[in-house]
Amino acid sequence: MNAIGKRTTIDDLAKSLGLTKSTVSRALNDYPDISEATRLRVRHAASVQNYRPLSHAQAIKTGRVRSIGLVLQVSEHDGHRPFLANFLAGITEGAALHDWTLTLATASSTTDTIRLLEKLSQERKADGFILPRTYLQDRRIDALRNGHVPFVLYGRTEDIAECAWYDIAGETAMQEAVAELFRLGHRRIGFLPGGEGYNYTKLRTEGYLEGLAQAGLSQDPALIGPNAVNKQQGADATQKLLLQSEPPTAILCSVDHAAIGAYDAIRSCGLEVGKEVSIIAYDGVPEGAVLNPQLSTYAVDTKHAGARLAELLIRRVRGEAAQTLREIGNARFLDRGSHGPCLLTSNDLAALIKLKSDHREE
Partner DNA sequence: CCCCTTGCCGAAACCGGTTTCGGAAATTTG
Partner DNA sequence: CAAATTTCCGAAACCGGTTTCGGCAAGGGG
Residues near its own copies (CB under 8 A) are 1-4, 7, 50, 52-57, 59-60, 65, 67, 72, 74, 78, 81-82, 84-86, 88-89, 92-93, 96, 101-106, 117-125, 143-144, 146-149, 260, 286-287, 290-291
Return d(Cα 233, Cα 256) in angstroms, integer. Answer: 12
Provide φ and ψ at 21, rounded to 5°.
-65, -30
Residues 6+ apart with CB under 8 A from 2: 8, 50
Return d(Cα 20, Cα 76) in angstroms, integer. Answer: 53
22 binds, among its own copies, DNA, none (CB under 5 to 8 A by kind): DNA
Cis peptide upstream of residue 293 (ω within 30 degrees of 0): yes
Give the shortest CB-126-to-DNA separation in angstroms.
16
Give the shortest CB-249-to-its own copies separation in angstroms.
25
Rank residues 15 and 81 by Cβ distance to its own copies and give the closer one: 81
Task: Assess contact for 58 and 90: CB atoms under 8 A.
Answer: no
Return d(Cα 245, Cα 30) in angstroms, integer. Answer: 73
213 binds, among DNA, its own copies, none (CB under 5 to 8 A by kind): none
Which residues make up the interface to DNA (CB under 7 A)? Answer: 7, 9-11, 18-23, 25-26, 28-29, 31, 33-38, 53-54, 57-58, 60-62
Of 290, 304, 224, the residue nearest 257 (C-alpha): 290
174 binds, among DNA, its own copies, none (CB under 5 to 8 A by kind): none
Return d(Cα 171, Cα 206) in angstroms, integer. Answer: 6
| Count of beta carbons in the 10 Å neighbourhood of residue 319 | 7
23 binds, among DNA, its own copies, none (CB under 5 to 8 A by kind): DNA
21 binds, among DNA, its own copies, none (CB under 5 to 8 A by kind): DNA
Give the shortest CB-94-to-its own copies separation in angstroms.
11
